[in-house]
Amino acid sequence: MFAGFATGAGILILLMLAGVAAFLLAEGFPAIVAPAEDVPGGQGFVAFAWPLLFGTLLAATIALVVATPFAVGVALFISHFAPRRLASGLGYLMDLLAAIPSLVYGLWGVTVLAPATVPSARWLADNLGFIPLFAGPASTTGRTMLVAGLVLAVMILPIISAVSREVFLQTPRLHEEAALALGATRWEMIRMAVLPFGRSGIISGAMLGLGRALGETIAVALILSGLGIITFNLISGQNSLTIAANIALDFPESSGLAINALIASGLVLFLVTFLVNAFARYIINRRSEFSGAN
C-alpha cells in the first residue's frame, strides 16, 4: 500500500507539472506566433521576453554569488564550530528567516537597504565607473538591480544554509576523527573531509535557492521599476526587470494579446527553472557516480 501511495504521489506531481506546462504553452502560443507589431513593444515576442529573461538571470546570479559563500560559512559555523546551545539557536534563527514573507523583505529593501546603498553606489560610479557593472550614473533612490540582488541573496541564504548544514552534519564521524588523528587542524579537517562530502548538498541548496530567486515576484517588483532594457549596470536607475515582477506589475491592466505575451514569458521562466534544476540533478548524479567509483 505504501509503495502504491508513493508511486501515485510521484505520478500526480508529474501530471501537475505537465498540466502547468500545457496551460502556459496553450495560453502563450498566440503571442509567440503573433505578428511583431501586435506584441507589446511592437518588435515581436523574442524582443519582448529577452530583456526580461536577462534581468531575471542577472538578479538571480547576483543573489547566488552573494548568498552561497555566506550560507556555507554559516552552515559550517553551526555544524562544526559553535557550541551546541548556540548552534541550536542559530539554526532555529536561520530557519525562521525562511518563513518571513517576501513582501517584508521587499519593504525592507525599499525603505532600509536602498537608501543605505546610495553613498556606496556613488563611490562605485566615481571610482570604478570604467567597469560596466558600475558605469552609473548612480541612482538617487537606491532602487537598483544591485539592491534587488542583495535582497534576493538574503531571501535564499536560509535555504542554502539549511540544506548545507544538514549535509555537513551527516559527514561520517570516522572521516573527521581520522583527519584530526593525522594531525590536521580543524579547518584542514573540514577542507579534506567535510566539504568534499557535502559538495553535492551545497550544489542542491544553491540550486534550490536559485529557483527561489528566479521566481521571486513581490520583493523585486517593489524595488525595481524596469524599462524592459538590457544593461549590466547594477547601480543605475534604469534597470532590467525580471519576468515574475513584470507579470505581477502588468497583468492587472493587460488584456487580449498582452495577457498571452505575459503568460508566454511565464513559460520561458518555467523552462529556465526546469533546465536549471535538471542541470543541478545531472551534476549531483555524476558526482555521486564518481564518488561511488572511487
pLDDT tens for 222-279 read 888 766 678 888 888 788 888 888 888 888 888 888 888 889 999 999 999 888 888 7
Dist CA 133 CA 124 (whole Å)? 9
Residue type, 27: E
Write down the domain spans for the chain: 41-289
pLDDT of residue 291: 52
In order of 49, 127, 227, the CA distances from 122 in angstroms are 31, 9, 22
In order of 59, 95, 116, the CA distances from 214 in angstroms are 8, 21, 25
pLDDT of residue 227: 65
Residue type, 144: T
Total count of residues recorded for the chain: 294
Q: Which CATH superfamily is domain 41-289 in?
A: MetI-like (1.10.3720.10)
Question: What pTM did the predictor assign?
Answer: 0.86
pLDDT of residue 294: 52
pLDDT of residue 70: 92
Element (H or E) spanning 168, and its range?
helix 145-169
> What sign does the dihedral 18-23-24-25 (CA atoms) show?
positive
> What sign does the dihedral 231-218-53-209 (CA atoms) show?
positive
> What sign does the dihedral 31-219-280-96 (CA atoms) show?
negative
Q: Which residues of the chain fall short of a pLDDT of 50?
A: 290
pLDDT of residue 100: 86
pLDDT of residue 165: 87
pLDDT of residue 34: 83
Q: Where are the alpha helices (DSSP H) in 34-144?
A: 45-76, 84-97, 102-108, 114-127
DSSP 252: G
> What sign does the dihedral 183-186-188-193 (CA atoms) show?
positive
pLDDT of residue 12: 95
**Residue 240: closest CA among 58, 31, 71, 67:** 58
pLDDT of residue 9: 93
Could you tell me if 276 and 210 are in contact, meaning their C-beta atoms sit under 8 angstroms apart?
yes
pLDDT of residue 68: 92
